[in-house]
Amino acid sequence: MARVKRSGGGPVTTKAGTDLNADVEARLTAEAEAGFDSAALTRRHVGRPSLSGRAGHSNRVDLRVDDETYQAIRRLADKGNRNVSDVVRDAIRRFLEAS
């Protein structure tokens, strides 16, 4: 049977809060050794949701700004209880609509 390597000597728990004691360890080992039906697996999407509203990823634009511009964006973000990315996206969108 496989053994779980533990560090720190304290109890081991899962993210869900399940204590990984010897009984749970034995059950999980038996389940893994018996195999599983891959059709029963649930696909989980990782990362942030797309900004486009469709499946897939959103395009990313990286840019650099001077300190004064960044501080102005930061002040707007703080004032509106928003994050910097939202303020920049909104500014770009407004600029493009005016063009």
pLDDT by residue, tens only, the chain of 99 residues = 556 565 666 778 888 888 888 898 898 888 888 887 778 878 777 777 788 777 777 888 999 999 999 999 999 999 999 999 999 999 999 999 999
Structure tokens at 39: 């059709």
Length of the chain: 99
pLDDT value of residue 31: 85
Which DSSP letter does residue 10 get? S
Residue type, 77: A
pLDDT value of residue 9: 66
Structure tokens at 70: 């960044």
